[in-house]
């Protein structure tokens, strides 16, 4: 019988023990569900889904926006419940909802049902993501948190690589380049398996239960972080960038650049590989040079990627996608580390939940607006130029916060 691993002790050990690593590994697989299944999958499968149920870029933007809308509302629920429920309970609930959402996506007969499934995927993903950094680093020394959180995000890169290549392989096996429903069905089954692993391998201790009670939804914890407003502006700017960049990447590569579905999937693999190594390197770098300077570097990489993508030709498209993978996968986890550095276990879920609500609003708005702009322009060129500007704002505010903390 598998042994259960306890999380949530108040004091982190000096070394990363095997039980701590087991917990971190299980939490990493949960993050795959929250950010890859139902969200990134939509971007990869959108060209095929559009032929069946989506009739315009504006509708595609609504679809992406519904995911972030569900995410926003889900984060609000999680943030409120963080003071009453254990983080692991919220994560389990998120996994259950996500599995149901993916099953619904697999059988969706209409755009409305598809939208409901995407919304539920966002709602369930909130319960997973908001609690993941705290659960993964519960017993991790502060000097190793950046590295561990980098590994958390790198797992998403590995999952995206498997997802993009697995989609291509599956379509070859079934001899259908536009197959998409069975892929959501497979993801639903994988999510159920991950849920079982969480029940078997991870549970909180009495200490963790006590530390989470009494924390209701409030911006107080967030405001206690030095330079909190600059951190919020930095993350909000990036949220708009991420919401539109990822949602329309598949369509932009296929419609503007004229790439085949197979080539688009290969570019998603490039995106994924760089998303593996980027967070690992940036997480470790942030442990040495600080979170804000690492955030500025990640933002500068995203600026370059956004501008290169407008060239719509190889090798620039591959370079752009690779750079964006390295930069974008790093920002959320660097932000989580910046929040975690100043807060204890009791306050983290509330503060990170608050900032994640803001992230969701930015992503939701950007996805909708990007679809409208693309329909108006007939291409995504202006969209990605504007996203480059947002990345520049994100990096600038990160540097401003670094200077503020240095002076203070």
Domain that holds residue 351: 18-200+216-407
208 part of a folded domain: no
> Tens digits of per-residue pLDDT, 315-365?
898 999 899 888 888 888 888 888 878 876 567 777 877 887 887 788 778
Q: What is the CATH number of the domain that holds 395?
A: 1.20.1250.20
Is 385 among the domain residues? yes
The verdict on residue 175 lying in a domain is yes
Q: How many domains does the chain have?
A: 1
Gap between the Cα atoms of 232 and 221, Å rounded:
13
- Is the residue at 245 inside a domain? yes
Residues 6+ apart with CB under 8 A from 143: 287
Residue 47 CA, distance from chain mean position: 21
pTM for this model (two decimals) = 0.69
Q: Considering the domain boundaries, does residue 138 fall inside one?
A: yes
CA distance 273 to 267: 10
Q: Which residue has the tokens 């609000």?
A: 76
Within 8 A by CB and 6+ apart from 316, the residues are: 308, 309
Contact between 79 and 353 under an 8 Å Cβ cutoff? The reply is yes
Residue 294 forms part of a structural domain: yes
DSSP state of 251: H
Structural domain includes residue 65 = yes
The pair of structure tokens assigned to 112 is: 């409305």
Please tell me the least confidently modeled range out of 110-114, 244-248, 257-261.
Answer: 244-248
What is the predicted pLDDT for the residue at 203? Answer: 67
Q: Is the distance from CB of 291 to CB of 334 less than 8 angstroms?
A: yes
1 falls within a domain:
no
pLDDT tens for each residue of 42-100: 877 887 887 788 777 778 777 777 887 888 888 888 877 876 777 888 889 999 999 99
Question: Under a CB-based contact definition with an 8 Å cutoff, are residues 82 and 353 in contact?
Answer: yes
């Amino acid at each position: 019988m598998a042994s259960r691993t306890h999380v949530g002790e108040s004091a982190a050990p000096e070394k990363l023990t095997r039980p701590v690593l087991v917990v971190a590994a299980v939490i990493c697989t949960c993050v795959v569900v929250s950010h890859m299944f139902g969200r990134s999958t939509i971007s990869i499968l959108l060209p095929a889904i559009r032929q069946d149920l989506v009739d315009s870029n504006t509708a595609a933007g609504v679809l992406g926006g519904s995911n972030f809308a569900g995410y926003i509302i889900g984060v609000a629920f999680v943030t409120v419940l963080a003071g009453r429920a254990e983080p692991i309970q919220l994560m389990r609930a998120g996994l259950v909802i996500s599995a149901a959402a993916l099953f619904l996506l697999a059988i969706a007969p209409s755009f409305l049902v598809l939208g409901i499934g995407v919304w539920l995927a966002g709602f369930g993903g909130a319960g997973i993501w908001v609690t993941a950094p705290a659960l993964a680093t519960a017993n991790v020394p502060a000097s190793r948190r950046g590295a561990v959180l980098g590994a958390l995000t790198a797992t998403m890169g590995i999952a995206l690589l498997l997802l993009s290549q697995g989609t291509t392989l599956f379509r070859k096996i079934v001899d259908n380049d536009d197959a998409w429903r069975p892929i959501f069905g497979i993801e639903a089954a994988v999510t159920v398996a991950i849920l079982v692993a969480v029940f078997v391998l991870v549970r909180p201790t009495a200490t963790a239960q006590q530390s989470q009670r009494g924390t209701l939804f409030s911006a107080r914890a967030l405001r206690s972080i030095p330079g909190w407003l600059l951190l919020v502006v930095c993350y909000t700017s990036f949220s708009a960038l991420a919401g539109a960049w990822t949602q329309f990447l598949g369509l932009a590569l296929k419609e503007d650049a004229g790439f085949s579905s197979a080539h688009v999937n290969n570019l998603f693999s490039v995106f994924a590989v760089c998303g593996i190594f980027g967070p690992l390197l940036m997480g470790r770098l942030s442990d040495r040079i600080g979170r804000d300077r690492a955030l500025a570097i990640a933002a500068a990489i995203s600026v370059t990627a956004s501008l290169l993508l407008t060239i719509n030709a190889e090798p620039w498209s591959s370079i752009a996608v690779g750079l964006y993978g390295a930069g974008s996968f790093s920002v959320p986890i660097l932000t989580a580390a910046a929040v975690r550095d100043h807060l204890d276990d009791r306050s983290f879920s509330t503060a990170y939940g608050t900032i994640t609500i803001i992230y969701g609003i930015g992503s939701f708005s950007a996805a909708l607006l990007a679809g409208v702009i693309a329909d108006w322009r007939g291409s995504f060129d202006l969209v990605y130029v504007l996203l480059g500007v947002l990345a520049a704002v994100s990096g600038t505010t990160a540097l401003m916060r670094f200077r503020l903390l240095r002076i203070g």
